[in-house]
Copies of this chain bind each other. A is one copy, B any other.
Amino acid sequence: MNPSDDNSGERITEAEQAVMEVLWDRPRQTAAEVCEDVCTTRDWSLATVKTLLSRLVQKGALAAEPDGRRFLYTPLIAREAYVGGESRRLVERLFGGRAASLVAHLAESEALSAADLDEIEALLKELRP
């Protein structure tokens, strides 16, 4: 089992993910800083960001480190873990847990470019000498 596989219960929603992304990109930011980044792209108000930050702290996805009278927010779960969890969930839901089926589907539906195929092939070679 991986550490940082803290997939403990609480789901992270799409809006929440947007907030996580900016903190994964650079941890220890204030609410205002996070907003500066995400409020432009998603057209949110600062209040919205604060709510999402609170919910994420409540869910144990973020740590809030006091810094004077405000907080610096830092992810407690790694992006790796989140991405892994979501991927596994999708594979489970849509392909009965068979990840190869997902790859097959992507390939057949032309979601994979020739370059993608190259990349995957290289990956396979690397994974087993």
Contact = CB atoms under 8 A, between A and B. Distances in A.
A117 interface: yes
A47 to B, nearest CB: 24
Contact of A109 (B84, B112, B117): B84
A1 to B, nearest CB: 10
- Assembly of this chain: how many copies? 2
B127 A107 contact: yes
Interface stretch (A50-58, A63-71, A95-103): A95-103
A103 B104 CA distance: 11
B100 A123 contact: yes
Interface residues of A, number: 37
Interface in A30-84: 80, 83-84
Taking chain A's interface residues, is the majority helix, strand, or loop, or is none over half, making it mixed? helix
A105 interface: yes
A65 B30 CA distance: 56
A94 B87 contact: yes
Interface string A1-34: 0100000000000100100000000000000000
A100 B116 contact: yes
